[in-house]
Amino acid sequence: MDNRLINIKKAAEQTRLSVHEKDVMRARIYERIDASYRAQAAIRRRQRSGWVFFSMRSVSVAALVFAVFVGSTTTYAAQWSLPGGLLYPVKIYVNESVQGALALSEESRVSFHTEVAQERLREAEALASEDRLDERTAAVIEENFNTHVAKAETAVASLEENDPASGVEVRAELDSSLLAHSSILARIGEGSDNEQTKNNSRSMSERVRSRNMGGVVAVAMQADAAPAAEVSTMSLSAVAPETPTPDPEASVSSKSSGETARTKNAVSERAAPVVSVPSTAAQKKIALQLQKKATTQLERVGQSFKESSNFLDASTTLKVEERLKVLEAQLDTGNTQTADTLYEAARATFTEVIKGSVGLKTLIEASKKYKRDLVRSKQESDDDSRGGGRVAGAETEKDKKQKDED
């Protein structure tokens, strides 16, 4: 028998759960069973082909066999394992594989891949907090992170076509949560005494932030060079469709030059974006849906702050309160815009509330977990949203002076 499985079995036999952990595990099992029933019901309603059931059944059977061998306690404990840990393969190849198989709708796929991408960054944060983020581990984490972000982006694009409001919400959640985690990773790494951890945290944070600011185009460029070139051509043709790009070899042959020009014009015509303006009724529907989603997200961050307030220091508390007031004011503005039938403006405002709420909630939870001030000020948040300003986590002269005084 494989020594790795023997080691996992031994670790499982030594793992014990508290009463609270057993209750949590039981609740999660019931939740998964309910989600599975609802997912299968959705499949039946859509009358999908039988291979989907076979695929799900195969994954479920494999997971069941593994669970019988190593025990459900192990699969539960694996959720908190980090790269390099004995149970980490269980987390990646069993737990997440089963969760991914149960994500059947576009929205659930976005949620799954977004959550896993965030989990990879949380793992990097945890290792950085322990001065253990070496180059090899950082590369493994980032590779898996990139895979799930690319899949999340693909699912988001599909969702936006069928349900614009949900698409806007999940894209805002994806972008803002990853941006927040990039800031958290940089700040934690900056405080590390291990130079390798500090450098790896900073470089990974910069790449995550750069990828996030690039959006769909950045994902396409990393996933496939050919589509990236087409996207680039599309952008150029949209600005100046009648101006061909100079060809360095144009003087070689007038015939080849003519063919090149015709090819470029054909590509420009094919790639030119078709702008579809939603009707007023559609704009109103989207604005109202986003209004509800923005209100819910703001309530969630308020609840998170309330539950975490006893664990946050005075500086963090003040910044959270400042950010909450800004978000509340934005929500009021969006409500007024909706009442005045300025639906397109309201849509943009509510999207900003969603992004700000998700990002702030992420920062609050990390500040509580690591017992340090990780919440950015309003100015820092605005700099990140615009893609400008210093890299999150980099020390300013004021930061260094304050550290020296401390």
**What pLDDT does residue 402 have?**
52
Q: What are the distances in angstroms from CA 239 to CA 233, 236, 246?
A: 10, 5, 16
Q: Are 350 and 334 in contact (CB under 8 A)?
A: yes
Asked whether residue 220 carries a pLDDT value surpassing 50, the answer given is: no
Q: Are 288 and 342 in contact (CB under 8 A)?
A: no
Q: What are the distances in angstroms from CA 119 to CA 80, 178, 182, 289?
A: 10, 10, 12, 28
Which residue from 70, 127, 63 is spatially nearest to 99, judged by alpha carbons? Answer: 63
Highest mean pLDDT among 137-146, 218-227, 374-383: 137-146
Highest mean pLDDT among 79-88, 225-234, 385-394: 79-88
Which residue from 335, 401, 381, 337 is spatially nearest to 182, judged by alpha carbons? Answer: 381
The DSSP output letter for 311 is G
Q: Are 153 and 216 in contact (CB under 8 A)?
A: yes
Summarised one tens digit per residue, pLDDT across range 185-210 is: 999 999 999 999 999 999 999 999 98
Interatomic CA distance for residues 345 and 348, integer angstroms: 5
Burial (CB count <10 Å: 0-12, 13-18, 19+), residue 57: exposed
What mean pLDDT is predicted for residues 332-336?
98
**What pLDDT does residue 362 have?**
96
**What pLDDT does residue 279 have?**
77
Neighbouring residues of 263: CB distance < 8 A, sequence distance ≥ 6:
none
Summarised one tens digit per residue, pLDDT across range 268-304 is: 444 444 445 567 899 999 999 999 999 999 999 999 9
Summarised one tens digit per residue, pLDDT across range 13-32 is: 666 556 555 555 556 555 65
What mean pLDDT is predicted for residues 29-53?
51
DSSP state string for 160-188: HHH-HHHHHHHHHHHHHHHHHHHHHHHHH
Interatomic CA distance for residues 354 and 172, integer angstroms: 7
What mean pLDDT is predicted for residues 391-404?
47
Interatomic CA distance for residues 336 and 353, integer angstroms: 14
**What pLDDT does residue 75 have?**
72
Encoding tokens for residue 274? 């078709």
Q: Which 3 state secondary structure label does DSSP give 307? A: helix
